[in-house]
Chain A
């Protein structure tokens, strides 16, 4: 158990967690998780059920680690961007518990950029505050108006092949060496991308728990710090939203920015897709809001966590909790 009423005084930045920060993301909650912040809900309990192995692995690799940062907002949906007032509530709740806050911005449209700026103004005074941006237009806007703001690049900007149906084959010994390499890395170590990272002062990049083992350089060959997400790997993001279609009507369904009753906070859809050469069990994909995810199996979490804390770049783990019930697998 990583966090109890008894160990809440432990600092994740010092001894506990070996210097690796644990961050909790509640993309579909519209109010702060007060019970979690007060330590009334043990961390391991949040990950109970199909993700109990992850809780155990976190405890083993990062002994004493306790969540101390909140992600507010969604990587994929502008509708879930909090109002400045709501964000203020999250900031106050986090501060009261000794936690810090990261505002997560999805790829933004024109209206979303305006709303996001209001949020950033509300956030700027909070200690340890930072923003995750999931599109370069927002990076550009924020950097030009907030020179000192801590900006992290969101997982959607990390261009790596993501396909749970085939990812095991990306690293196949039968694959041509060049193809194998290109499928297990991004273009972020190329000079042009490095130029952008420097120009925009990006100190952190968020990264998914990819099924294919990323090349070592993809982790360590960069200057910025890394936050790694668990247990869900983002697969793709929709134009329309599947859960929102639940109470939609006719042509209004699946329209980008269409009617929404935040069904994403109540329901997910689980798909079981076939895997070539698999045993017929297929692989689960999870439609959470307007995006598809894959809950990575324990060996992948283990592979990611085995980098910690000795690996130099990863110093934060972001654990997503999609609901208040049993976490889907």
Chain B
């Protein structure tokens, strides 16, 4: 059964999102102790250092209670690319309390070692492999199944055909999840460990900083002064456009409030359902092609 997985930031959003068709929620939780230890320097999850996260465990409990009353499960994300050993020691009992006392339905993780530890410490708690784990091949599906993960969330760099292959590999062993909206990184998020802290996103910054094309061979040096001079300039112009589209088309939204930027709605025909293309209704952006997750399917 296909469900819409929706991010949520506050218990007050449950009713609205449930009425909108949410089939399950995921959220971040950053306890005060984490902020005391790490400030904003080390994000507990990829949702941000503070904003977008729940900060009190009571709010997680309330969110779970309200969601469960509507039959909606809640997953909490602990998907930093890695956790140092002492961070894992801090998080394991915290997750235990979220599962045992707050009633969450599972967690989302990116650190493969932490996945192993979670399965050992809390064997009955479902664990989803975050897109940050960059699961791109059938071997990774086998790896996750052996470790006892219950779901694989595909990275945004995969095409529809790749996803189909991996879904077939996962069938009967792992649930599968793919993105269709938002997230504006031009890099492969599973392999990008730059920080947005203080300096902003590197990918957004690059088109606006001084740059130059360098030849790597004597022959290329000659071509860069000749026939490749113009393509090199056009490459940087295209890069600027691409980053703009990936970064939310200037952080704009549609008249219906749907964020512009990275989007896979037109691939829902292949992923799930034909009708979904009409949801967005922004051909001026879609037709540019730069906004699509699944660009080989772009309309």
Contact = CB atoms under 8 A, between A and B. Distances in A.
Is A bound to B? Answer: yes
Interface of A: 28, 76, 107-110, 112-113, 135-141, 144, 156, 159-163, 165-166, 170, 175-176, 178-179, 181-183, 185-196, 235-240, 242-243, 245-248, 250-251, 253-257, 265-274, 276, 282, 285-286, 292, 322-325, 328
26 contacts: A76-B191, A113-B139, A136-B143, A141-B139, A161-B195, A166-B198, A170-B41, A182-B42, A183-B41, A187-B83, A192-B113, A192-B120, A196-B116, A236-B191, A236-B192, A243-B235, A245-B242, A251-B289, A267-B216, A267-B220, A267-B232, A268-B216, A269-B213, A273-B202, A273-B206, A276-B199
Contact of A179 (B41, B118, B228, B232): B41
Nearest to A191: B117
A215 to B, nearest CB: 9
A189 B146 CA distance: 21
Contacts of B115: 192
A237 B234 CA distance: 22
Contact of A140 (B111, B142, B166, B205): B142
B195 A266 contact: no
Contacts of B139: 108, 113, 135-141
Interface of B: 37-39, 41-42, 81-88, 111-118, 120, 134-143, 146, 156-159, 162, 165-166, 186-188, 190-195, 197-199, 202, 205-206, 209-221, 223-224, 228, 231-232, 234-236, 238-239, 242, 288-290, 295-296, 298
B199 A166 contact: yes
B137 A112 contact: yes
B83 A239 contact: no
Contacts of B138: 110, 113, 137, 141
A196 B113 contact: yes
B238 A322 contact: no
B295 to A, nearest CB: 5
Nearest to A271: B211
Contacts of A176: 37-39, 41
Contacts of A267: 213-216, 220, 224, 228, 232
B1 to A, nearest CB: 25
Contacts of A175: 39, 41
Contact of A187 (B114, B134, B298): B114
Given A136-B112, A187-B83, A325-B215, A245 B298 contact: no
B214 A268 contact: yes
Contact of A322 (B141, B158, B195, B216): B216
A126 B69 CA distance: 62
B37 to A, nearest CB: 4
Contacts of A270: 211-214
Most buried by A among B120, B214, B239: B214
B267 to A, nearest CB: 13
Contact of A107 (B82, B136, B288): B136
A304 B13 CA distance: 50
Nearest to A194: B113
Nearest to A286: B214
Nearest to B121: A192
Contact of A190 (B84, B235, B289): B84
Nearest to A329: B214
Given A245-B239, A247-B231, A193 B212 contact: no
A273 B220 contact: no
B42 A255 contact: no
